[in-house]
Structure 1
């Protein structure tokens, strides 16, 4: 495919088919080590998830970015099924999540940088293992990853995390696939951005998530000034008796950084899904953000946040041979 493309669980698509995009979601979290410790994270009912995604599609949504990477609840077969049934494009990640979502003896700690690099590249170029590397057999599917994820916590980066950074950037540069990260309430976002810059990543294809939780406008500016993109996803999380820091950041920063900000819901808990009997539901941003932007004279930024910026961010910067 010579034209710019993004890679969905059902195949590559031209970027002009991405449409209205949510940039950080959790669509499937399978029964796993993660959900054993956090039952509220269980999201594996195909019928309920299809119902929510279908409502999203009817409201104008076209693409969602799933963010559960290798061997921590990812189920590529279910992701492919709900994508096909709902018509919503789903971008699926490879990569590694926070340490807390893996047992202490997990292979992530023993694999070398080269081995992790090869695993991430295989997910992107060959297909994701139907068993999600739960071992010992690997049966690759036709469904390929469209981005690479890593995560850091509150502490300074450890040698293990730096190894994952290098493997992620290796795979990113080898394949052209975009990078998405987790930050804890925005902490270490600036350090992430600077380390990606040092490692030679294509910064306009790197997005750091949850940075709105840091609240501080100057800190967000410092991150954006490095050249990465940021993803905000806490519009619905702020308590009624406190300021909505996400909306305040959008109002303040969109005029200066219109090409670097994207939004998502990050509904990792089933209590947020209407199809599971919760609130506010996946359509919350579609229902609220246009009116907010219009009220602030920023209606021209709607397409940037949900269409133009995701197209530029999640497209591959290298075409396959």
Structure 2
């Protein structure tokens, strides 16, 4: 089963999944790019659904303006399966003195585990407060735990979050998504999580394609980790053709079963419903046809359907 904001669904029902997007997000690192309007975010989700995507991961973790009840309403209105994250981002997203960055590891474990088992808080605060309730009257629960690290850095807070994410994954069965800044420190993250008892096949390395190194990606895939390709439409950093070329080489080296595709559009100025471009549907409308033409329908099905269903399926590593 896969845990969505509207309840658990069989993995076979997930469909074509965009593994990394945001419907709500507010961060001091992104002034002016707040995603905080339920109507506008709902319109973007509807556009993604209309473009042929059946499911998405809402990748906004604790303390960054997430709105679980709003996400659940959007899911119900659009028919889009949504898997919500718990966990925490890299340190810079919280600014100085944020309550979350001072939490000890044990408290982070309790908070993340509660989000998965019992429901996300309606509003993130030091004192947990009421649980978010979906349109059907049931708690909105997380189905994935997130961590984040800096550029070639894992600071003390980020290390505690990695350890807490591993513990949460072991007992609840969710996978762990890790934000890699510019694709750095991938092997180091896997080593840290392995030291905490989490095998690589339960880890998604987000932004792997911000470092377009097919040899490195083949190594990471061979180790069992999932590679998050979510850099399309960022043409200042790399053209879509470079991402497609790297993907083709990784697939040729046997890594196709370990790649996930997403958009991570994640900015008010990039959502059409907020007045920006290119919109949440860029991935299915503009990039996926190129993947199909270059690599074939069978491989595209693996990337969009089989791989995300496998990694998002609840798989507890312990009975605790």
TM-score (norm 2): 0.91
Does residue 215 of structure 1 match 2:219?
no
CA distance in 1, matches of 2:221, 2:210: 15
User: Is 2:19 the counterpart of 1:23?
Assistant: yes
The correspondence of residues 147-162 of structure 1 with structure 2, limited to 5 A, is 147-162=144-159
Structure 2 CA distance for aligned equivalents of residues 23 and 225 of structure 1: 20
Matches within 5 A, 1:1-321: 5-29=1-25, 32=26, 34=27, 36-132=28-124, 134-136=125-127, 138-141=129-132, 142-239=139-236, 244-255=241-252, 256-318=254-316
Contact 2:120 2:142 in 1 (8 A): yes
- Aligned CA-pair RMSD: 2.2
Instruction: Provide the C-alpha distance between the structure 2 equivalents of 1:317 and 1:188, rounded to a whole number of angstroms.
Output: 26
How far the C-alpha of 1:290 sits from its partner, in A, is 4.1
User: 1:96-124 CA deviation, whole Å, 9 max, x = no partner?
Assistant: 11111113222333322111111110010
Structure 1, unmatched stretches of 5+, are none
Residue matched to 2:136: none
Q: What per-residue deviation string (whole Å, max 9, x for no partner) do you get for residues 165-194 of structure 1?
A: 111101100110111110111011121122
Q: 1:137: how far off?
A: 5.2
- 8 A contact 2:16–2:55 mirrored in 1: yes
SS at match of 1:265: coil
Separation (CA, whole Å) in 2 of partners of 1:15 and 1:271: 33
Once structures 1 and 2 are overlaid, which stretch shifts more, 206-215 or 218-227?
Answer: 218-227
* Contact kept in structure 1, 2:91 and 2:158, CA below 8 Å: no
Question: Is the 2:91–2:157 Cα contact (8 Å) retained in structure 1?
Answer: no
Gap runs ≥5 in structure 2: 133-138
CA contact (8 A) 2:34 2:267 kept: yes
Q: 1:96 to 1:242 in 2, by over 3 A?
A: closer
Structure 1-normalised TM-score?
0.90
Question: Do the aligned partners of 2:11 and 2:313 also contact (CA within 8 Å) in 1?
Answer: yes
Cα offsets for 1:218-249 (capped at 9, x unmatched): 22222222211011111211249967321111
Q: Are residues 174 and 302 of structure 1, via their aligned partners in 2, closer, same or farther at CA, if it must alter by over 3 Å?
A: same
